[in-house]
Structure 1
């Protein structure tokens, strides 16, 4: 009977250690993300990590409350050997946190009660809760429930709004066309489908480039390279040449 209980205890301890290691790994990963990836960490990722921690805690609680798991509170842990020298096996087992199992560390690691300061604080709180009047306690409970209900209403309303927005975005009609987008890109990038505006140059007529700055544009040239005659003007002008005469001569 004793051997059977020892086997059950070993199996339970192995399972508990495994679950505790999983919980420790998840906690370390979450702390690393909060400390080093706080700029890119978003709320859904944080909630996923928190849900993972909650799952590990629930699994550990189920193992501890299982019928086949012995009551650990009824067991006593005693040190087999105390030494002030470094223990490599202990350091490896505790990942470098505990290197020696000396007389000054045993009371802290194997204690079954809280520290004196924490214990006195707990006693003060328990005494205050015991001496609290029934009416005052009911008022505090009612106020607390009111606050929790108000927060729950806010969260529920926000969730409903998010769901409505998500469903509206999912069922919205398409207001764009890929064909029109492709035509617009082709018109801007390659000029496809664009019409030329203005009068195009006549075939066979070549216009000479403008001259130097300050000089007017050159005359129009014919296909043979000869300058084209200007059109006759509709205004006739008579130019009279006069002989320059000295005013004092007769």
Structure 2
């Protein structure tokens, strides 16, 4: 009996040590995410995540050992339940549990999983126990085929990418720096632009006004004709009457 109790205490000490290491790793990762979110890089984040994963793996190995006593067969009972604030409890739990009341006792002193979770675990264990060896081997074979197919696809894509990268001499140039500089200089400072003098607007000879030196020749027109030509013919006929005329509908 004493040997079992001693072994149980050693197991609890190892579990507590792993839990403290896990807590410190999680705290360090949260602190880096909050304080160093501008400078943290992906490899550093993966390193911290790997540390947390290693602590979880170590904790699982301790609990899965045959020498570890089954904790689910033991019951933890509270010595005192109170609704008052406990400073010692706050110090031990780092401010997470201020009161050891009836509401939190079932959650913090639980040595077995939640009833719904435990029921699902039992169903999965029963399903795995009822599975025959032939069916299990078929599922494993099918799973290996799927994994091998995905691995072949990834390997082929990687080889094609490496071949394409090695055969590529360089990135094809799609622009010219000289042309860009000339365009910027032309738009910004007008460099390289030429001024072009355009002559007077071309007017057809039929409506061109006569020059002072020329007479009323065959191709010329009189000023009156030019003035009449400039007016557009009116399609509306007007009838202006005297204001003294009596309106037919006047009263």
Give TM-score, length-normalised by structure 1.
0.50
Aligned equivalents of 1:108, 1:56: Cα separation in 2: 27
Change (3 A) 1:134 1:13: closer
Aligned equivalents of 1:21, 1:186: Cα separation in 2: 62
Change (3 A) 1:126 1:64: closer
Q: 1:20-99, aligned counterparts within 5 Å? A: 20-23=23-26, 26=29, 51-52=46-47, 54-61=49-56, 73=68, 82-84=80-82, 85-91=84-90, 94=93, 96-99=95-98
Change (3 A) 1:64 1:119: closer
Q: How far off is 1:186 after superposition?
A: 0.9
Indicate the SS of the match to 1:114: coil
Tell me the equivalent position of 2:22.
Answer: 19
Aligned equivalents of 1:169, 1:27: Cα separation in 2: 44
Change (3 A) 1:24 1:159: farther
Q: How far off is 1:133 after superposition?
A: 1.8
CA RMSD across the alignment: 5.3
Q: How far off is 1:195 after superposition?
A: 2.0
Contact residue 23 and residue 56 of structure 1 kept, 8 A: no
Q: 1:122-137, aligned counterparts within 5 Å? A: 122-137=121-136
Contact residue 86 and residue 99 of structure 2 kept, 8 A: yes
Q: Which runs of 5 or more residues in structure 2 are unaligned?
A: 1-8, 35-40, 201-210, 220-251
Moved more, 123-132 or 172-181: 172-181
Tell me the equivalent position of 2:237.
Answer: none
Aligned equivalents of 2:14, 2:136: Cα separation in 1: 45
Tell me the equivalent position of 2:205.
Answer: none
Give TM-score, length-normalised by structure 2.
0.50
Change (3 A) 1:187 1:17: same
Tell me the equivalent position of 1:187.
Answer: 186
Q: How far off is 1:164 after superposition?
A: 6.6
Change (3 A) 1:20 1:78: same
Tell me the equivalent position of 2:118.
Answer: 119
Moved more, 164-173 or 91-100: 164-173
Show CA shifts across 1:43-65 (max 9, x none).
xx8x8697356412344157659
Aligned residues: 190
Change (3 A) 1:143 1:10: closer
Q: 1:239-250, aligned counterparts within 5 Å? A: none
Aligned equivalents of 2:133, 2:14: Cα separation in 1: 47
Indicate the SS of the match to 1:22: helix
Indicate the SS of the match to 1:195: coil
Q: How far off is 1:172 after superposition?
A: 0.9
